[in-house]
């Protein structure tokens, strides 16, 4: 097993950062998204290394068995992990193995799961230190002298992402098979169907101010200033020159289309100052598109925002209200019509039309069959769409997730915080109906009303009133 990292002074503890994900995902991945790299790991290892605290790196994604993991974790004094809810099962299993083979070693954890489900983290005796919240200002002291910290620590973040150093992407794990490395473009990332390789993933903002009950990130990610436009462009240009050529960009922000003054600056500078206006994937909400349609259109046309990720979630006002989405059916259809029109015009000009990466949830508690038909009707109505459909998952940290967990209705246990879109995740949901719906059994019901919807949507005037 090849380790990464500079040689270490022999008096230094042997520290290991373990990247988490399903076994084999860096050998023979189940899908493209399993190959994305972890910006939390990248940022914190960069800060550690810049402060002289080196760490070796291994990844559970590069192992194909737990036996292999057991052998590789041998001989370390410290294990460090970024634990998200969906990687919690990997984390605690790794922690257990680590302590069995290195009984005097120390396990230091942080990450989203520590913030949203502290009880589950503290229940793992092998986790010696658990850091909630952001780790960038605390990581150096914690790793240098863990003994001076209590078991549970509350991290403090930077005021602005401008304070984050540029991440050293060579501190990310490498693809672990010859087959995968041929197309991976490490330390950039592989193609996933959104744009040409090599892909550069980047974060420009860290938090979303909305309060959707299935997510509400701002209840657990502290507010933080956005990364300045120039820094984002400089980083992309640096990556292009050093590791490129970049083919496309994925902006991993939870919500890219917020903060109009930042977006206006991006609109002005990205096409001019980036080595190339690489096509990119980024997220918006239907209500803000309806609020700032001109800005949206200009960004799509002039900055090559050609995969528009949008959390439509549902095509029914009832369900959108249940989700506190603060978007309406009308907002959703307005956004679909607007991107369709822009796409038609670009196509006529011989250019590639933009597509939606459309996030849709089914199996939401309280959703009726008619609501689900309306959602699928909206999907069918959308002309250029990459649908990303999942059964609703009650993640801890979100208002609805916390409520369902408290009521004993969640089927997501600490053994299976997994995230396969078609897993059964909530008690009392008729998953058989949803599977049949997705298999096309209710196509008549879904299509009924589609022609009327198309007819109705030809008149856009009513839609222009919200701003
Ligand atoms: C980019 C992203 C993705 C990408 C890439 C994932 C990856 N490999 O990193 C993709 C699109 C693949 C993805 C997919 C999913 N994601 Co996602 N994703 C994000 C997003 C938007 C940004 C993550 C990020 O880079 N953050 C920035 C870094 C710097 O933050 P960080 O990793 O948390 O690290 C900080 C702290 O946690 C802490 N820290 C971390 N580790 C450590 C360690 C120590 C020792 C210390 C002291 C501190 C510390 O310090 C860091 C700096 O402040 C977040 C939301 C968000 N805004 O964070 C959701 C988020 C992490 N994703 C989430 C979910 C649910 C998913 C999916 C399950 C969705 C689905 N249903 O399919 C899938 C699962 C993917 C998989 N691999 O199986 C949830 C996780 C919820 C939870 N409770 O853990 C989040 C929070 C979004 C949400 N609100 O629902 N995701
Ligand atoms: S679902 Fe999207 S809009 Fe809603 S809180 Fe989460 S990131 Fe924000």
Residues 396 and 119: their CA atoms lie apart, in Å, by 11
| pTM for this model (two decimals) | 0.94
Eight-state DSSP code of residue 423: S
Ligand 1: lining residues by beta carbon, under 6 Å: 21, 33-34, 36-40, 43-44, 80, 82, 84-86, 108-113, 116, 131, 134-136, 138-139, 142, 155, 157, 203, 206, 215, 217, 221, 252, 254, 390, 393, 395-397, 419
Q: What is the pLDDT of residue 33?
A: 84
Evaluate if residue 458 carries a pLDDT over 90.
no
Ligand index nearest the alpha carbon of residue 397: 1
End-to-end Cα, the chain, rounded Å: 57
On whether the CB atoms of residues 446 and 380 are closer than 8 A, the answer is: yes
Evaluate if residue 418 carries a pLDDT over 70.
no
Atom of ligand 1 nearest to the CA of 153: 47
Residues 464 and 451: their CA atoms lie apart, in Å, by 22
What does the domain layout of the chain look like in residue ranges? 15-154, 188-465
- Helix, strand, coil % over all residues of the chain, rounded to 5: 40, 15, 45
How crowded is the C-beta side of 298, counted as CA atoms within 13 Å?
15
Range 15-154 has CATH code 3.40.50.280: yes
Classify domain 188-465 by CATH number: 3.30.750.200
Residues 85 and 95: their CA atoms lie apart, in Å, by 15
Top-confidence residue, 3 or 399: 399
Task: Give which of 107, 110, 155 is closest to 130, Cα–Cα.
Answer: 110
Evaluate if residue 106 carries a pLDDT over 60.
yes
Ligand index nearest the alpha carbon of residue 250: 1
Mean pLDDT, rounded, of the chain: 93
pLDDT tens digit sequence for 355-398: 999 999 999 999 999 999 999 999 999 999 999 999 999 998 89
Task: Give which of 280, 293, 261, 417 is closest to 354, Cα–Cα.
Answer: 280
Opening angle at CA 283, ends 282 and 286, nearest 5 = 140
On whether the CB atoms of residues 375 and 450 are closer than 8 A, the answer is: no
Region 337-344 average pLDDT: 96
Residues 350 and 211: their CA atoms lie apart, in Å, by 40
On whether the CB atoms of residues 113 and 86 are closer than 8 A, the answer is: no
Q: What is the pLDDT of residue 31?
A: 81
């Amino acid at each position: 097993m090849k380790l990464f990292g500079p040689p270490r002074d022999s008096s230094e503890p042997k520290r290991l950062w373990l990247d988490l994900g399903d076994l084999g995902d860096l050998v023979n991945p189940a899908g493209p998204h399993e190959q994305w790299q972890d910006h939390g790991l990248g940022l914190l290892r960069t800060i550690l290394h810049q402060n002289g605290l080196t760490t070796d790196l291994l990844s559970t994604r590069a192992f194909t068995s737990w036996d292999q993991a057991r052998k590789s974790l041998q001989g370390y004094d410290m294990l460090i992990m970024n634990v998200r809810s969906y990687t919690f099962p990997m984390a605690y299993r790794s922690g257990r193995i680590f302590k069995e083979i290195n009984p005097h070693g120390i396990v230091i954890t942080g990450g989203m799961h520590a913030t949203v489900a502290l009880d589950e983290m503290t229940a793992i005796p092998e986790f010696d230190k658990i850091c909630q919240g952001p780790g960038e200002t605390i990581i150096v002291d914690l790793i240098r002298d863990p003994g001076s910290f209590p078991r549970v620590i509350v991290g403090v973040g930077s005021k602005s992402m401008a304070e984050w150093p540029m991440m050293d992407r060579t501190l990310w794990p490498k693809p672990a098979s010859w087959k995968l490395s041929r197309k991976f473009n490490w330390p950039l990332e592989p193609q996933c169907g959104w744009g040409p390789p090599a892909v550069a993933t980047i974060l420009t903002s860290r938090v979303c101010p909305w309060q959707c009950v299935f997510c509400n990130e701002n209840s657990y990610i502290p507010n933080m200033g956005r990364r300045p436009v120039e820094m984002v462009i400089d980083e992309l240009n640096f990556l292009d020159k050093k590791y490129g050529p970049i083919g496309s960009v994925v902006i991993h922000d939870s919500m890219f289309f917020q903060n109009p003054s930042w977006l206006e600056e991006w609109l002005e500078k990205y096409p001019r100052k980036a080595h190339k206006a690489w096509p990119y994937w980024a997220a918006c909400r239907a209500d803000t598109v309806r609020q700032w349609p001109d800005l949206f259109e200009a960004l799509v046309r002039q900055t090559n925002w050609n995969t528009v990720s949008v959390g439509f979630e549902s095509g029914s006002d009832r369900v959108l209200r249940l989700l506190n989405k603060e978007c309406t059916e009308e907002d959703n259809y307005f956004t679909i019509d607007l991107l369709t029109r822009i796409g038609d015009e670009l196509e006529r000009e011989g250019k590639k039309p933009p597509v939606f990466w459309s996030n849709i949830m089914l199996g939401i508690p309280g959703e009726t069959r008619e609501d689900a038909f309306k959602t699928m009707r909206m999907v069918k109505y959308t002309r250029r769409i990459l649908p990303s459909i999942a059964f609703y998952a009650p993640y801890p940290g979100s208002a609805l997730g916390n409520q369902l967990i408290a009521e004993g209705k969640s089927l997501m246990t600490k053994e299976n915080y997994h995230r396969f879109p078609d897993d059964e995740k909530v008690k009392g949901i008729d998953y058989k109906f949803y599977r049949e719906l997705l298999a096309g059994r209710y196509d008549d019901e879904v299509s009924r009303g589609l022609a009327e919807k198309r007819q109705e949507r030809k008149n856009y005037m009513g839609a222009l009133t919200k701003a």
